[in-house]
Structure formats: structure tokens, C-alpha cells
Chain A
Amino acid sequence: MTIDELRAKAAQRQQTCSQIKKMIVSRLDLEIEPGWITDDQPLFGRGLELDSLDVLELYVAIEAEFGVALYDSDMAVFGSVSRLADEVDPTLRAPA
């Protein structure tokens, strides 16, 4: 792929990650700017330090915002923002 095509592919993921970060900050009423959360940082326990109640809140928020139900998913989907992005937009998983 050309560098422009790679940038476009990266921008698609970064846009979804940005949308997820804004949703997390808004729904959980966090004091940080969404951009402070990195795509790869842990969310549950370490990192953003989400607990099980936060995760329940995010299940509802993700379904409302992205139309994706994650209720039966394992905790791995909360491994990072980028991992969540893979779930809400499976086209991101295609290699580029």
C-alpha cells in the first residue's frame, strides 16, 4: 500500500478510537480530556481503572452509540480502546 492509503486506514481506526474515548469520558463522567486516553492503554483494573459497574455502563453506551451488543463478549474486548474499536467496527480488523 502507499503511504497515503496506510494513513487513510490508520485515520479510520483513530476516528473510531476517538469516538469511543469521547463516549467513555462522557458516560463515566471522567475529568480527563478524551485524547488523554491512549488507544493501547489497559482499561479494566490497570490503566483507566474501570470496574465491573463501569463496564455495564459501557455495554449500554456502546449499543446506543454503535448499535453493537457486547453482552456475551469476554472481558478481552475491554483490553484497550483499540480492541473495543475492533468490536464496534469489524472492518478495522482487515489487514492493510
Chain B
Amino acid sequence: MHRILANAWADMAAGYARRRVWITLATEDIGDQHRRTTLGPLWLLINYFAFAATFIFVFAPAPSAQFAIYVATGLLVWNYMNDSISQAVTLFEREQSFIRGTNLPLSAYVMRVTLQNVIRGLYAVFGCAVILVFAQVNITPAWLWAGLGLVIILVCSPAVVALFGFLGVFFPDSQFIVTNLMRVAMFATPLFWTHEGEGGLRGALYYWNPFTYFLDMVRQPIVDGTVHWSSFAFSIVFTLVVWALAVLMLGAYRKKVALIV
């Protein structure tokens, strides 16, 4: 166990020491993905608006400013979590040229994709802010809790990326399974539907879905100025567990990935 923890620590320390590499790669990735387009990364903002508008105008029980705020904040968090998981599962396969040709630590690849997702998320933050202004949202001190919720999500995401990265290496079918599950999860998560305490399938999807609690940490304080402490408690415990698993996987398998990808 000591050796596994020392390995994981060595990998993460090397990842921090080489931070200029993954910062440079991540910022270039965003530019490269839109290199031939006229609007460039603005497409990220347009994508966000397209999704938000669809949910707000098509799925709203009755169009309201409150529902627009609910969808805009939920979609911001969902897009980040969805990008993190979907991209992670093929991460080490995509990076095989660097993994087999350089001695960069695995944490550098994890941070590269995490930072990419943060940059994408910042475009969505701008889009979300625009919708909140149009919906005439009230800014309350509870927003600080939403900010804390975002920090918890950011802290959790590198560990999630690492875990799904290992899953993709050792179980190649997982990339298709995860892609399909995430499509289903978008509908199974209270993103454009609300839960009013009813039971049945909707109630089960609400309570047994970990995404619910991460969304709720950020969304609830902005929507009506209240805080659900249970969402914070769940998300913090979930984050600690995921980090513990990620550290164990990194320590045990970091040098095995180059022999497999």
C-alpha cells in the first residue's frame, strides 16, 4: 500500500512540475478543435445557447423566468460533468503517442483534459450569465454556496477523469457503454424536469442519481436562494471516495498503461 501511495504521489508531483506542458496543450486543443471555423471557440457558446433554448422553450411546463434560471445553471454543471466523463474514457488511447514516446506522468494527461473542460465551461458560464441577466435573477448571499459547489465539482473532476481513463484502457467497450449511458443520464437527471417530491420512476431517478446532487449544490442557491445541505454532504463524500479510488488506480497502474495502450 505504501508503494502504491508513493507511486501516485510521484505521478501527481511530476504532473505539477510539468504543469506548463498540460496548460499549453489544453489551450491549444481548444483552438485546434475550431481551427477551420469562422467563429472559432464561440461555437462553444452557441452550442450552450442552442441546448438551453431548446430546454427552456420546448420542455418548459409553462415558459417562465424561473425555469430559464433552473435550466441555465443546471446545463452549465451538466455540460462540464458530461464532457469530463465522455472525454476521459478514451483519454489514454488518444494520448498513446505521448504515453509511448515521452515520460510525462499520467496526471499530466488527466489535467490536460480537465483544463480543456474548464475552458469550455467558462464559455458556458458566460452564456449562463447572459440568460440569468435576461431572467432578472436575484443575486443573494446564497450564491456563495453555489460558488463553493462549483469548487467541489472542479476538485472532483480530475479524479473522475482518471478513473474513467483507466476504465477505458482496461475495458475498451466501456467507451461505447459510457457514451450511451451519458445520453440516457441527460434525460434521467433533473436537468429540464423538476422534482416536486413525487415517488415512482421520477422520484427514483432523482434520489439515486449522483448527478442530481452535484447539480443541486450549484443550482438551488441561484434558483431560490436556499441551500440543500444533503447535496453538499453527498457530493463531498462522493468526491473523497472518487479521489481515494483514483489515487489507488494511479499508484497501481500508472506504468502499466504504456504497456497496454
Do these two chains really belong together in a complex?
A: no
